[in-house]
């Protein structure tokens, strides 16, 4: 069963349609839920996927356009009504904190939920670290300050060879150190190299979420190789002349970023309402990059 997966709640763009919901994605890492953007209806899509509100403790906003944030008042109100309490951290710019604090106070000032803010900047920075996961930002090119988020697993421990542990009578208290790469010294002073006691760790996984942005050549290097790249595909090449001035990308440009960054797979999304057949995004991206997933609401994409 996957321990690192992506739930798509909404993959439409600013103008509402009956086919797609506004932007919202949930990263499920070892049953800890991290939401990226919260467009209108996100809390209903969250429940349709049978996700648990009690496991949601971080929301990351890419920027302060309505189709990425207007679901927050309802979601936070519902979290308060659930009575679970605890805290919720929203990662956003200083302006976002100022606006959202007023909204939350007005609609839920007596909520048992404590909403905290981590003020970020449109820069390259690590903004969250847990024991096994790191989240960093990279600045994007949009009409307002915007960041992408990279979720990276930290290096995993090495795998113990149980038969060798038993053979060398290694005490339990040493196991964690050996998993971290330490050799073992026997009572007579003999050194048992770590390579005899363990096998290499499982690969660390990574996910990049690149929301609203115009294409720029440096982006791929800032992302780096990832197992899954979500990159907005608002337009097709037929409307390329509208993409950059509006701070957006075409499907081909997204595929180019995937290729240049060394991503293993590309996940499309943020479709403009003018298109009625999403398969054109897949077709265009596949001309550049070989492994493309056509996004849709309710899609669950495992990384492992």
Question: Catalytic positions, please?
Answer: 67
> What is the biggest distance separating any 2 CA atoms in the chain, rounded to whole angstroms?
75
Residue 167: which region, alpha, beta or left (left: phi > 0; alpha: psi -120 to 50)?
A: alpha
Q: How far apart are CA 145 and CA 33, in angstroms?
A: 25
Q: How far apart are CA 276 and CA 258, in angstroms?
A: 25
| R_g over Cα of the chain | 22
DSSP labels, the chain:
--SEEEEEEE-B-SS--SS-PPSEEEEEETTEEEEE---TTHHHHHHHTT--GGGEEEEE-S---HHHHTTHHHHHHHHHHTT--SEEEEEE-HHHHHHHHHHHHHHHTT-S-EEEEEE--SSSEEEEE-SSEEEEEEE--SSS--EEEEEEEPPPPPEE-HHHHHHTT--GGGHHHHHTT--EE-TTS-EE-HHHHEEPPPPPPEEEEE-S----TTHHHHH-S-SEEEE---B-GGGHHHHGGGT--BHHHHHHHHHHHT-S-EE---B-TT-S-THHHHHHHHTT-S-EE---TT-EEE--
């Amino acid at each position: 069963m996957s321990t690192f997966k992506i739930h798509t709640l909404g993959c439409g763009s600013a103008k509402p349609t009956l086919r797609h919901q506004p932007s919202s994605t949930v990263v499920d890492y070892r049953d800890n839920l991290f939401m990226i953007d919260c467009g209108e209806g996100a809390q209903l899509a969250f429940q349709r996927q049978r996700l648990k509100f009690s496991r949601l403790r971080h929301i990351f906003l890419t920027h302060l356009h309505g189709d990425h944030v207007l679901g927050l008042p309802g979601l936070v109100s519902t979290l308060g009504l659930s009575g679970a309490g605890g805290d919720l951290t929203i990662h956003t710019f200083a302006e976002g904190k100022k606006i959202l604090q007023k909204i939350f106070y007005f609609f839920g000032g007596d909520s048992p939920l404590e909403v905290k803010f981590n003020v970020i900047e449109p820069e390259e920075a690590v903004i969250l670290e847990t024991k096994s996961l790191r989240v960093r930002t990279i600045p994007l090119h949009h009409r307002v300050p915007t960041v992408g988020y990279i979720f990276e697993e930290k290096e995993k421990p090495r795998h113990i060879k149980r038969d060798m542990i038993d053979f060398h009578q290694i005490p339990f208290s040493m196991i964690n150190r050996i998993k971290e790469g330490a050799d073992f010294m026997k009572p007579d002073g003999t050194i048992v190299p770590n390579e005899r006691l363990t096998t290499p760790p499982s690969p660390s996984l990574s996910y990049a979420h690149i929301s609203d942005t115009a294409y720029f050549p440096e982006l791929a290097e800032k992302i780096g190789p990832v197992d899954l790249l979500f990159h907005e595909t608002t337009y097709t090449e037929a409307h390329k002349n509208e993409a950059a001035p509006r701070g957006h990308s075409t499907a081909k440009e997204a595929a180019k970023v995937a290729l240049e960054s060394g991503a293993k797979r590309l996940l499309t999304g943020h479709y403009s309402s003018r298109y009625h057949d999403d398969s054109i995004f897949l077709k265009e991206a596949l001309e550049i990059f070989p492994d493309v997933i056509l996004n849709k609401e309710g899609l669950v994409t495992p990384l492992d």
